[in-house]
Structure 1
Amino acid sequence: MFATRDRAERFYERQVVDRLTPHMRDFVARQEMVFVGTADAAGNCDTSFRAGPPGFVRVVDDTRVMYPEFRGNGVLASLGNIMENAHLSLLFVDFFDDLVGLHINGSATITTAYDAARRYGLVDEDRTAPGRRAERWVMVEVEEAYIHCSKHIPLLTKQDRRERRSEGRRPAGDDYFGVGQVKVAGREREEAGKSVG
């Protein structure tokens, strides 16, 4: 349909591997963010963002990586999806130095912080997120790893969060996108409809 089969086959032959190369392992160890893609048993997708100091995603060996899960909003979309469907994708993008990305696709399992510490020695909280304690860890068994080329990756610069606040920017709180206002308006319309009927 899209006439790209030959290019795709060349890419798979040259760039896709079933384990992490030494360069990939070094790359992951330098990253401060990752996008996590999951889907439930019905195929409904979710993409989440995770961040921490360099090395917060740990390379266990050339076929396994682990990332920490912290206390969040309680929805647990990624973990809930993993419990129904173990397929997971990780996308690391270096926007600041190398301008390149790394895709890791694989199968995920969830483990407790206790088990991660006992089996893999993952107890150094300062490397995962200072002041935060991992409640669980997700182990990803690598099935595919390949490059995301730099062609359309923008070069970004880091800025201290405190500087941004002093610029008078609106804080990104719980209702940054005005969902509360929309829900109140919806309830008011619903109530008005009931009183008319």
Structure 2
Amino acid sequence: MDAGNLPGSHGEHVLQSLFGTRARAEAFYGRQMSDRLTPRMREFVARQEMAFVGTADAAGNCDTTFRAGPPGFVRSIDDATLVYPEYRGNGVLASLGNILENPHISLLFIDFFEDLVGLHVNGRARITTALDAERRYGLREERVERWVEVDVEEAYIHCSKHIPRLARKERADGPRPAAGDYYGVGEGRPVGTS
């Protein structure tokens, strides 16, 4: 494969050459990466109850957040489009703010309970209203104020080698940390204060 035609970043390709992993990487790109969601990927997404969302602002400052909902809360509209709801949160809107500045997004789905495998989806995101999502896709949920649409650019496996098997429990099982100042930020110097 010509390095100019390979998926991934220039940095990846430099390190693959430096560390002698180019042949393995090219095999991975050829067998495991797609610029669309395959039918099995779409079925996998439809069963997931959680996703990790990575965004960055225009300066490259990163944010990774956790999203969860009922199975299939992230919808696969077609083989090139995912849509997920933004439920009411703490009002900071870090992910959405990043998307407004920089549309690049990564979604990581991991099945900790059955398949012990993950799916990476990278693409370009845009924010849409609940009304627009209902009109365009027939999506209607009372608690959702806005949706994020993702145009898929690449999708690939996260191998199961180090994914632990977890046991499913009800939320009421065991202690839950209280909301608010769990980590003692108010006791120290909060961000933006001198």
CA distance in 1, matches of 2:54, 2:183: 23
Residues 3, 154 of structure 1: alpha-carbon distance in 2 compared, 3 angstrom cutoff: same
Give the drift of 1:60.
Answer: 0.3
Aligned counterpart, 1:77: 94
Aligned counterpart, 1:158: 168
CA distance in 2, matches of 1:84, 1:95: 32
Aligned counterpart, 2:65: 48
CA distance in 2, matches of 1:170, 1:100: 27
CA distance in 2, matches of 1:34, 1:70: 14
Bigger share in helix: 1
CA distance in 2, matches of 1:9, 1:114: 43
- What stretches of structure 1 move > 6 A for 4+ residues in a row? none
Residues 180, 156 of structure 1: alpha-carbon distance in 2 compared, 3 angstrom cutoff: same
Matches within 5 A, 1:103-114: 103-114=120-131
Normalised by the length of structure 2, the TM-score is 0.86
Normalised by the length of structure 1, the TM-score is 0.85
Look up the SS of the partner of 1:37 in the other structure: strand
RMSD: 1.5
Residues 18, 160 of structure 1: alpha-carbon distance in 2 compared, 3 angstrom cutoff: same
Matches within 5 A, 1:1-197: 1-123=18-140, 125=141, 133-164=143-174, 169=175, 171-183=177-189
Q: Give aligned pairs, total.
A: 175
Deviations 1:24-69 (A, max 9, x none): 0000000000000000111100001000000100110000000000
Unaligned runs of 5+ in 1: 126-131, 191-197
